[in-house]
């Protein structure tokens, strides 16, 4: 699934400890719920001020989904 590789690549560039970023995919490929997991102290870097970073990631994901006729939900968790 190229989506998971792309999303992981972006998320790993946003945090200080990229080796600890994990992506869980739950559900069928075209409608999966995605959970980005990072160390607790790194969550803020993926969420951003007032949620701007995670909102931008969700916007990119929604644009990709619209082009491919898919739908994904993206959440951030900690290990």
Where do the DSSP E strands lie in the chain?
Answer: 22-26, 33-38, 73-78
* CA–CA separation, 17 and 19 (whole Å): 6
Q: How confident is the model at residue 79 (pLDDT cuts 50, 70, 90)?
A: low
Segment 15-71, tens digit of pLDDT:
999 999 999 989 887 888 999 999 999 999 999 999 999 999 999 999 999 998 999
Q: What is the DSSP letter of 27?
A: S
**pTM for the full model?**
0.85
* CA–CA separation, 44 and 61 (whole Å): 19
Domains and CATH numbers, the chain: 2-78 (3.30.300.20)
């Amino acid at each position: 699934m190229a989506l998971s590789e792309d999303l992981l690549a972006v998320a790993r560039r946003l945090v200080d400890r990229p080796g600890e970023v994990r992506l869980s995919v739950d559900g069928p490929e075209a409608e999966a719920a995605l959970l980005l997991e990072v160390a607790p102290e790194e969550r803020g870097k993926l969420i951003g001020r007032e949620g701007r970073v995670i909102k931008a990631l969700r916007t990119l994901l929604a644009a990709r989904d619209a082009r491919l006729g898919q739908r994904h939900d993206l959440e951030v968790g900690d290990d």
